[in-house]
Structures are given as C-alpha cells and as structure tokens.
C-alpha cells in the first residue's frame, strides 16, 4: 500500500473537538494513535481523557489535505492549526517537541506554590472519619509488629557504638574485612577480559516518525520511565537487536558512551 502524506484530524463526533497532526504514513500514524490511546499513554492528555470518557466509537480520522512533498508538511499543518484551533493539541505550534519541559522560572513558581501546604481541619476531619471503625486483620497487625521489631533491631545495632566496635574487631580478627591479593588478581583479570556495557550510561534521543525531536534522555532507564516502557525493553531492542525504530519512534543512540574493557571489542566504542 502506498504511503499517504497528509494533514489529518482526529475529531470527536459528539462535541466536534479535534486533534490535528501531520504524517508521511497515515496508516502507521493511525495505528500509533490507537495503540497509545488504548494503553492510556497518549501524549495529549486532553485527547486521552476524551477517549476514556466517550470511547473509540466517538472518534473519526479525517484527511484534511494530501501533501506531495513532505517538506511542506509542517508549514501546512500550522496553517490548519491556526485555522481550526484544535482543542486536543497540547501545543499550537506544529513540529514542537512533545516532551516539552517547564522553564526554571515555572518550576520555581510551582515549588513555591506547593511548599508549606497544610491540610485544612476539614480535610483532616474527613480523613479521620473515613478511617474510623475500620478494622485491621490479624495478618496485617502481625506484619506491622515484625516490621517494627526488625526496624528497631536494625536502628539499635547502627546506633550502638559498642556493638559496632565489637563487630569491627571480630572482622579484623577473622580477616573477613580484607580482600586477599589472589582475589584482587582474579577480579582484575575478569574485568580486563570482559566487555562491560552499562545501559545507564548510554545517552539517546527520541524522535517521532517524521524526524522531529521529542526528548533527549541521559540513559535507557530514564527513557523507559518517560515512555512507560518495561524495564530493559529499550536496552534489548536498541543495543542487542540494533534496532533504530521501536514503539513508533526513531531512536538515536550515542554509542560513544558505552564502556568497553576489551581492546578487541567489535562494538562501536
């Protein structure tokens, strides 16, 4: 099937509100929107909330304009956004990064706004009334007792200097606090012959399928958390499988930040 380049809209048939976007592959873009909406993970919270409220049957995809040269995609998308003023678009500038960040000034305002907030007496009263008469199970009580005992023993052992000194002397006497030269040598050889990769140190950039930057990530875990991906899925697909496209996004990985301990390594170090 030929790829359709176009400006499209997702319209709510009930209230007429819409989301406007552009794509070089309409079929794939529709599939990505539906996948994100059904997972509750769409980048537009306005569209996601409407989808949750009205359901999939309340929405329709319409092609507003067919584009022959993708160079004009963003320009024409902006014209449609200015003309229709879509309610479900987060940003009103075509091609803007989806994962935009608050400015430092905005962050400071938010911090000041929430600092020192105290619950009112009315709120405290409601919480108290809601918990009143609630009975805890025996199992819950026993678990709390065990947790309290464990925590107390742990804190006491940390705070008791005499106990700490006794343990220190015991370790010195038994030689358990020292690593032998033989062990150090084994560790050194193992590390020299082993290729080490840390996906926590690999920086990467996330683009949409039109090639526009969405977000820069300092490491794989940050990117997985940002997109609500399962832990390790990005590392497997981008590093092990060497994919450049995953979950409807284009990924550019900074391979220079991989750590390699072998001189005969075949990776891009």
Q: Domains, the chain, ranges and CATH?
A: 6-84 (3.40.1440.10), 204-257 (no CATH)
- Asked if 249 contacts 208 with a C-beta cutoff of 8 angstroms, the reply is yes
pLDDT tens-digit readout, 43-87: 899 999 999 999 999 999 999 999 988 888 888 999 999 999 999
Of residues 102, 129, 122, 123, the one with CA closest to residue 113: 102
Q: The tokens 């905005």 sit on which residue?
A: 106
| Mean pLDDT, range 81-94, rounded to an integer | 88
Q: What is the pLDDT of residue 59?
A: 95
| Mean pLDDT, range 99-127, rounded to an integer | 64
Residue 110: pLDDT band (50, 70, 90) is low
d(CA 214, CA 28): 18
Q: What is the pLDDT of residue 86?
A: 93
As to burial, measured by CB atoms within 10 angstroms (0-12 exposed, 13-18 middle, 19+ buried), residue 115 is exposed
pTM over cut 0.95 = no
Q: What is the pLDDT of residue 229?
A: 85
| Mean pLDDT, range 196-204, rounded to an integer | 64
């Amino acid at each position: 099937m030929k790829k359709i380049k176009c400006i499209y809209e997702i319209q709510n048939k009930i209230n007429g509100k819409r989301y406007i976007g552009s794509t070089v592959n309409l079929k794939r873009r529709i599939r990505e929107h539906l996948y994100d909406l059904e997972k509750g993970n769409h980048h537009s919270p306005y569209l996601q909330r409407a989808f949750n409220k009205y359901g999939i049957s309340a929405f329709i995809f319409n092609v507003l304009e067919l584009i022959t040269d993708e160079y004009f995609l963003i320009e024409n998308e902006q014209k449609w956004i200015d003309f229709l003023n879509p309610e479900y678009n987060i940003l009103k500038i075509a091609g803007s990064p989806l994962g935009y960040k608050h400015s430092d000034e905005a962050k400071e305002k938010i911090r000041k706004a929430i600092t020192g907030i105290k619950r009112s007496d009315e709120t405290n009263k409601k919480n108290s009334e809601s918990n009143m008469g609630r009975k805890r199970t025996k199992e819950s009580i026993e678990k709390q007792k065990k947790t309290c005992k464990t925590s107390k023993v742990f804190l006491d052992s940390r705070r008791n200097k005499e106990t700490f000194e006794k343990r220190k002397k015991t370790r010195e006497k038994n030689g358990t606090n020292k690593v032998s030269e033989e062990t150090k040598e084994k560790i050194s050889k193992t590390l020299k012959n082993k290729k080490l990769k840390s996906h926590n140190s690999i920086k990467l950039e996330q683009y949409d399928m039109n090639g526009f930057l969405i977000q820069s990530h300092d490491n794989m875990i940050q990117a997985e958390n940002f997109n609500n991906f399962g832990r390790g899925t990005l590392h497997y697909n981008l590093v092990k499988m060497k994919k450049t496209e995953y979950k409807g996004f284009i990924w550019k990985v900074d391979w220079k930040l991989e750590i390699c301990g072998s001189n005969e390594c075949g990776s891009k170090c």
